[in-house]
Amino acid sequence: MRKPLNRLRALTAAGAAGALALTAACGGSGGSNDDEITWWHIQNEDPMMSYWDQLSEEWLEESGSDLTFDTQAIENDSFKQRLSVSESADEMPDLFQTWGGGVLAEQAEAGLVRDLTDELDCLDLINPGYLEAYTVDGRVYGVPFDAGAVGFWYNKDLFAEAGIDEIPETWSGFLGVVEDLKAADITPIALGESELWPGHFYWAYLVMRTIGLDALSESAANMEFSDPGFVEAGEHLQDLIELEPFQPGFEAAPYGEGPDSQAAIMGNGDAAMELMGQWAPSVQADSSGTDGLGDSLGFFKFPAVEGGAGDINEILSGGNGFAVGNNAPDEVFDYLCYLFSEENQSRILENADGLFTTVAANPENVLDEVDPHLQLVLDTVAESTGAQLYLDQDYPAAVGETVNEATGGLFLGDIGPEQVVEDINTAWEREQ
């Protein structure tokens, strides 16, 4: 879906100052020299951190280009801060990470990214459905290299230990599973809420299940969340929070960095579930220092809300992609098509070690076999009847940030369901 957007919002003075200090510490702004391609991405750990470098070196050699790459692998939150500074200064990196949606639409409206529609002769190699989140007014401004769905990853062994033999398909059934796990002295859910975005998945899904995708799309297009189902979704989430289902210290826990992170707790078998996207099994293994849960790891769809207008087969989805800065050299287009050749799509998936899912128009041409965990996600995508991009990416940046902050306040008990909606509506009003 596409919504009306105003000009790219300015950073506050304090926020800009802090982000500028971070940028200086990390190596400068996004603008590049004429003889190099500046590339920012968030795959800041191997295997992909090194493999992106390998691919760029191969392209330089094969193309005979005189350019060089200034590639910077940046932690997720730091990347977002640095990109905000680059936007304010109109010094965008030549090639950079994007998740599409409202943030990319704002960048396109502000003239900060290049229109790729007529520049890439390889767009037909990408599943057109996955291009929707990167399309603004019928023009393509970004390309995905990964896509999937958010759902509940669960530890089959811990479910069995608690005597749970059925996957919950309703919200009341899910709350019952949480109570059964607590009764068995098992932490039901791992959550890294210090980063806020993991928690927003719960509220987003509950809104989808309560009012349905059509009503959510209409509300976003009107830039107003007036449907009472938005408050009801928060009340459903509050019911979960009041059960105290998360690990101690979840409020300060990160998602995937360190032994106390959400992913490590799940990967070590110290919690029974986490709500996360297609990358979860790989991050669980990396963060916990293990091989992951293996055959003990399962996946199920976010449950339906009884009486809600949403469908259990409507998914919250998204993935990783790249956009091209407004001052990037044309050679970047050649490089992107090099990355998206079917041969290199196959190599990327192989080297990503289960981190990415395919976006290929013809998956059979790039996949020899699919990781069984990723197959669970692909099956969910195949069964989906509709999809919603992560709210913090689909909406304008200020609204997306407010969604995360307001839902974070609900998890902490600082505000209630009504205030969550009021805060988000205030953010919408500022966009009008």
Q: What average pLDDT values come out for the chain (432 residues) when binned by 10 residues?
A: 29 32 43 83 92 97 96 91 93 96 92 98 92 93 94 98 97 98 98 97 98 96 97 98 98 95 97 96 92 96 98 93 97 97 94 84 85 88 90 92 98 98 98 90
pLDDT, residue 15, reads 34
According to the model, what pLDDT value does residue 355 have? 79
Q: What is the CA radius of gyration of the chain?
A: 21
Name all contacts of 412-417 with Cβ < 8 Å and 24+ positions apart.
412/193, 412/251, 413/241, 416/234, 416/238, 417/231, 417/232, 417/233, 417/234, 417/235, 417/237, 417/238
Question: C-alpha dihedral over 63, 67, 69, 70, to 10 degrees?
Answer: -170
Backbone φ and ψ for 327, nearest 5 degrees, come out as -110, 15
User: What confidence score (pLDDT) does residue 33 get?
Assistant: 65
Beta bridge partners of 153: 274, 299
CA atoms of 37 and 337, how far apart (whole Å): 15
Contact at 8 Å (CB) between 178 and 203? no
Helix axis angle, 229-241 to 397-412, nearest 10°: 40
The Cα 166–Cα 124 span in angstroms is: 41
Rounded Cα distance between 162 and 157, Å, is: 9
CA atoms 166, 171, 176, 178: torsion sign? positive
CB atoms within 10 A of CB 7: 9
| Rounded-to-integer distance, Cα 227 and Cα 222, Å | 11
What are the distances in angstroms from CA 248 to CA 149, 364, 432? 27, 44, 41
Going by DSSP bridges, is the β-strand pair 139-140/135-136 parallel, antiparallel, or unpaired? antiparallel
Residue 52 dihedral angles phi and psi, to the nearest 5°: -60, -40
How high is the pLDDT of residue 332?
Answer: 97
What is the torsion angle, in degrees rounded to the nearest 10, for the CA atoms of residue 290, residue 45, residue 156 and residue 349? -120
409 is written with which tokens? 């306040």
Q: In order of start, what are the domains of the chain with their CATH numbers? A: 22-147+319-378 (3.40.190.10), 149-316+396-431 (3.40.190.10)
* End-to-end CA separation in angstroms for the chain: 18
Q: How far is CA 172 from CA 26, 299, 320, 349, in A?
A: 47, 18, 33, 38
Residue 324 phi, psi dihedral angles, 5° rounding: -115, 125
